[in-house]
Structure 1
């Protein structure tokens, strides 16, 4: 039976200083991976790493602002150095999700959302997937959103950036799959994190539209990501896995 264990593998998780990313980093480390945690906040990043190490896991923190292409490429090199020349698992989780109606979005917001949500995953895959292919295997998991599948007023910018990620997921599966690299995506619904705390009651309103009727906890999304990163998903390729309490089933 294929295993969920990740012993001996190196994982890079972006946006891992809080929320889904932090939960994913902790779970991958718990299952045996050496994890490179990255984000912009060094204090929070070091805290995530310290918690992983306190539980016997292996992790390192690299500070990076992924809105700049050169910083993305530098992160890839640093992750390879920390991983002894390899990254076996890439989790593209970093993202920003401003809630604003289209006419109120500034040029800076548009540029930042697409740079971080779409361009950063593109550059990381370009830097790391070829090495995975040369070694004969690897797993890439992209984090999307139900806003990429369902029209939500105020989320055109965020949703469209993640819709691009979903298309890239399928294209990368076609591109790298024949060389042993599995590329999949998870599509979370409403999740209760530090980043969504500012949404207030709107988060619960969104969550109430799903059959489960509540927001997810970050750990519930992390479980799906860890599954897709593991050998248990060895025949899963190019999928967009809804982890949304059934929201898209009734969209």
Structure 2
């Protein structure tokens, strides 16, 4: 059961929170008592998400934030401190994933730069702007949203490189921020049913068979992991990667299926 007071008095800022994992995470923190700032490049959709949660009685606000722009990030962080009263948790969920070209050598510089700038450097910008505020309260936490793409090959060269880099940034920042009372961790989801998969139910059904737990993830699965790492329940955890992937990266389901024991027949 959700603890409706675990984040009482906490201010939380989430990037890329208009939909999907970010929106589910905003709901989770709000339901646990936090005041939440939903940020996204899509201002109207961010406001729609925030308004829906406010209508349910939660303290949730919205702000346009383009993580590729330093001024936009700094303004959003300042707004979070003002709107929430403090900034205790930063969740970096904003990302860009450009489909690969059929041949690696045909990939445009622009697509590579965009994916790294939003997914990795965007998180860096947000952490840089938020860290003094997170440290001021003595209970600050950063949770970055990575991906299994940063751990193994699932395609998408630039996106995967950015997510792998986010893992490294998580560890180095955790080392720096620990003395300032701020914890920094990473959640790495597998396939999650978001709007990116809309109209692709047959494909998701095929993908589901690769997961030992027999299903793809839901945004709420990731939100629960984020809330744990940001909470006092994880007070002695920093610099770690929590893989939320239904066992995908731990178990080679295809191999286990191909190599069957004679007694299985």
**In the alignment, what sits opposite 2:233?**
232
Matched residues, number: 248
**In the alignment, what sits opposite 2:89?**
89
| Distance of 2:65 and 2:129 partners within structure 1 | 16
Q: Deviations over 1:40-71 (max 9, x none)?
A: 22221111111211221101100122222222
**In the alignment, what sits opposite 1:66?**
67
Counterpart check, 1:208 vs 2:212: no
The structure with higher relative contact order (CA 8 Å, sep 6+) is 1
Contact 1:4 1:230 in 2 (8 A): no
| Distance of 1:4 and 1:95 partners within structure 2 | 30
| Distance of 1:242 and 1:69 partners within structure 2 | 30
**In the alignment, what sits opposite 1:7?**
8
Please, which runs of 5 or more residues in structure 1 have no aligned partner? none
**In the alignment, what sits opposite 2:37?**
36
**In the alignment, what sits opposite 2:261?**
none
Q: Which structure would you say has the larger Rg?
A: 2
After TM superposition, the score normalised by the length of structure 1 is 0.92
Distance 1:49 1:150, change over 3 A: same
Aligned match for 1:116, one of 106, 115, 118: 118
Q: Deviations over 1:142-172 (max 9, x none)?
A: 000000001123x111111010000011111
Partner SS state of residue 118, structure 1: helix
Contact 2:39 2:64 in 1 (8 A): yes
Contact 2:4 2:33 in 1 (8 A): no
| Distance of 1:32 and 1:88 partners within structure 2 | 13
Distance 1:203 1:100, change over 3 A: farther
Partner SS state of residue 37, structure 1: strand
Partner SS state of residue 16, structure 2: coil
After TM superposition, the score normalised by the length of structure 2 is 0.87
**In the alignment, what sits opposite 1:165?**
166
| Distance of 2:69 and 2:204 partners within structure 1 | 30
**In the alignment, what sits opposite 1:147?**
149
| Distance of 2:193 and 2:151 partners within structure 1 | 20
| Distance of 1:126 and 1:119 partners within structure 2 | 10
| Distance of 1:202 and 1:192 partners within structure 2 | 11
Contact 2:15 2:65 in 1 (8 A): no
Q: What is the Cα-based RMSD across aligned positions, in Å?
A: 1.9
**In the alignment, what sits opposite 2:23?**
22
Counterpart check, 1:100 vs 2:64: no
**In the alignment, what sits opposite 2:185?**
184
| Distance of 1:215 and 1:118 partners within structure 2 | 25
Q: Deviations over 1:93-122 (max 9, x none)?
A: 011222314334322211211111011111
Q: CA deviation at 1:195?
A: 2.3
Partner SS state of residue 214, structure 1: coil
Distance 1:92 1:198, change over 3 A: farther
Aligned match for 2:139, one of 137, 140, 147: 137
| Distance of 2:241 and 2:206 partners within structure 1 | 24
